[in-house]
Structure 1
């Protein structure tokens, strides 16, 4: 079971890297008003959602306590991120506010995961 959990954590981190990496590659274009939601951002957000839900389920199945408030906040942020990326994925140019929100919420999600004990 531990191998499965570690594999899911690795996939979760890859999802974060895809989402945040897709954002960071577009920051220069964001300054020019030409940023767009790249497919890697959508795939990364979906990967984070699936692996995150699986990790919570596996931890609860093992009898570990799960901080449901923390998980709820992280899930809410991810749903907003996923919604923005999904809705704006076909647009040639995404407004800087929406694009910046995705980056800020992704960064906040990472810090919540690391700092909230």
Structure 2
């Protein structure tokens, strides 16, 4: 049982490293990368498994149950933020690839490249998932703070 717990803790910490590493790898232009989403899923699954393992061993007190319930809720938030940010990145990439470049006929509105004009294929919206990258990172760090400092 101890070996299983150790493996789950290792995978749980690996998920956190993936989230934090993905955030810092894109710190100049924050975005949710697929690795951050996978790390969030890994953390959520291993966190729930660790919670269940403690419950199965009968080692849960009411204080620990509250702490781990808060951590599972934070894990869900991290996964939701990462999912929404990843979805926004994919949507922005798909939209930029599908929008045709306008010919700029007189009176038809702004031409390509002008503010409010059509977007060239391949052009991307700058950092569409930046808020979700910040929220994912912040919620993951908050989960660590709860794990370390909540006695």
The alignment's TM-score, normalised by the length of structure 2, stands at 0.68
Match of 1:9 in 2: 9
Distance across 1 between alignment mates of 2:50 and 2:129: 34
Distance across 2 between alignment mates of 1:14 and 1:46: 11
The structure with the largest alpha-carbon Rg is: 2
User: 5+ residue gaps in structure 1?
Assistant: 30-34
Residue 25 of structure 1, CA deviation: 1.0
Tell me the secondary structure at the aligned position of residue 64 of structure 1: coil
- Alignment RMSD (CA, Å): 1.5
Contact 1:22-1:38 within 8 A present in 2 as well: yes
Residue 15 of structure 1, CA deviation: 0.6
User: 5+ residue gaps in structure 2?
Assistant: 93-126
1:1-117 matched pairs, under 5 angstroms: 1-29=1-29, 35-66=30-61, 67-90=64-87, 91=89, 92=92, 93-117=127-151
Return the structure number with greater helix share: 1
Matched pairs, number:
112
Residue 100 of structure 1, CA deviation: 1.5
Contact 1:22-1:40 within 8 A present in 2 as well: yes
Bigger mean CA deviation after superposition, 89-98 or 69-78: 89-98
Residue 95 of structure 1, CA deviation: 4.7
